[in-house]
């Protein structure tokens, strides 16, 4: 029973839910309706999308898992109550599970390519294989580098909505010929998802490095807060949050100017601007680890709310 809490923490279910929604909402609420509206036929059937979604979520989980393997000593300092690998699960067994996860991802990608995209099967396999390698490189080499590791993760998270878009390139091309305005509007909304995902994840990664300062410093992990100090790191992370806040103000104003329903404007204020402002406040003036944990939680709420509101 003692291992239940660390086990469920290791699964990162809220994070995986955000990954799934980052793929599902833009596709089913934006891209697929636009293709159908123009009389086109989407490439992705329901079964194909399920394969794509499972492969994407499993790839993300494998990335979290290998990160936990390499972070065993750091997590023992930062989150001893959440430690699972090394405490309840031996490191060698964890590596074996990681290999199984990788093989499963590649098998799903191959199945998706062969069954639904035979002419692009190598491209699909390379996509998931490349992302898996990128996540491994982050966990092994880039996590303890200042800023670069944060940008690396933010880019990978921002690419999640694009995965489904890549599978619909031909219908999207046809859409651009038959209904160019609809195609432009669809791509604009997709770019909103990409920019939103990048900024929110970059902000959260910067805050998380401050939150994890103790373990990173003790284990020689040279993150930005370790190199430049907590005070400077708070200011830089707060600046990133302030940029995000400004972008959200512009987005809310754009919705207001284009006649969005008032419930959407109200939700934007309550679930986008307020959590972002709270996170910036906690980051800029944070003194203890709890402040940065609260900022990180506020950013997660912001992520979830943003995904939903961008879909309508």
Over residues 261-281, the pLDDT tens digits come to 999 999 999 999 999 999 999
Q: Helices 160-167 & 13-26, crossing angle to 10 degrees?
A: 40
**Token pair for 293:** 């944990």
- What is the Cα–Cα distance from 112 to 278, expressed in whole angstroms? 42
CB 197 within 8 A of CB 158: yes
Nearest by Cα to 169 from 187, 185, 157: 187
For the stretch 284-299, pLDDT in tens is: 999 898 999 999 999 9
Q: Provide mean pLDDT across the span 242-263.
A: 96
Reported confidence tier of residue 3, pLDDT bands at 50, 70, 90: low
The whole-model pTM stands at 0.94
Percentage above 70 pLDDT, the chain: 99
Asked whether the predicted pLDDT for residue 2 surpasses 60, the reply is no
Report residue 197's pLDDT band, with 50, 70 and 90 as the boundaries. Answer: very high
pLDDT of residue 73: 84
CA angle 164, 136, 239 (to 5 degrees): 75
Residue 53 φ then ψ, to 5°: -65, -45
Under 8 Å between Cβ of 216 and 223: yes
Residue written as token pair 């996509």: 127
Question: What is the rounded CA–CA span in Å between residue 141 and residue 170?
Answer: 37
Q: What 3-state class would DSSP assign to 89?
A: strand
Phi, psi (degrees; rounded to nearest 5) at 90: -60, 150
Ramachandran bin of 221, using left for φ above 0, alpha for ψ from -120 to 50, beta for the remaining angles: beta
| Buried residues in 188-224 as b, exposed as e (16+ CB within 10 A) | ebbebbbebbbbbbbbbbbbbbbbbbebbbebebebb
More reliable by pLDDT, 37 or 304: 304
| Separation between Cα atoms, residue 54 and residue 61, nearest integer Å | 10
């Amino acid at each position: 029973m003692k291992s239940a809490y660390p086990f469920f923490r290791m699964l990162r279910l809220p994070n995986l839910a955000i990954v799934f929604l980052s793929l599902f909402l833009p596709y089913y609420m934006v891209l697929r309706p636009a293709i159908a509206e123009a009389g086109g036929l989407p490439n992705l059937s329901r079964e194909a999308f399920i394969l794509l979604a499972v492969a994407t979520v499993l790839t993300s989980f494998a990335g979290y898992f290998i990160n936990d393997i390499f972070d065993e000593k750091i997590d023992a300092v930062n989150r001893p109550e959440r430690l699972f690998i090394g405490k309840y699960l031996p490191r060698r067994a964890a590596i074996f599970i990681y290999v199984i996860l990788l093989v499963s991802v590649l098998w799903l990608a191959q199945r998706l390519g062969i069954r639904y995209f035979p002419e692009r099967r190598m491209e699909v396999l390379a996509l998931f294989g490349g992302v898996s390698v990128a996540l491994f490189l982050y966990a092994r080499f880039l996590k303890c580098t200042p800023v670069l590791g944060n940008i690396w993760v933010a880019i990978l998270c921002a690419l999640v909505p694009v995965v489904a878009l890549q599978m619909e390139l031909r219908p999207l091309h046809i859409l651009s010929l038959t209904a160019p305005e609809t195609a432009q509007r669809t791509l604009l909304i997709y770019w909103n998802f990409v920019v939103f995902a990048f900024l929110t994840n970059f902000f959260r990664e910067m805050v998380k490095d401050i939150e994890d300062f103790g373990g990173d410093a003790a284990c020689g992990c040279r993150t930005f807060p370790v190199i430049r100090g907590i005070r400077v790191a708070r200011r830089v992370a707060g600046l990133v949050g302030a940029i995000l806040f400004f972008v959200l103000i512009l987005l809310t104003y754009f919705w207001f100017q284009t006649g969005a329903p008032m419930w959407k404007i109200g939700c934007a204020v309550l679930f986008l601007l307020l959590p972002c402002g709270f996170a910036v406040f906690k980051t800029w003036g944070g003194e203890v680890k709890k402040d940065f944990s609260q900022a990180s939680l506020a950013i997660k709420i912001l992520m979830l709310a943003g995904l939903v509101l961008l879909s309508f």
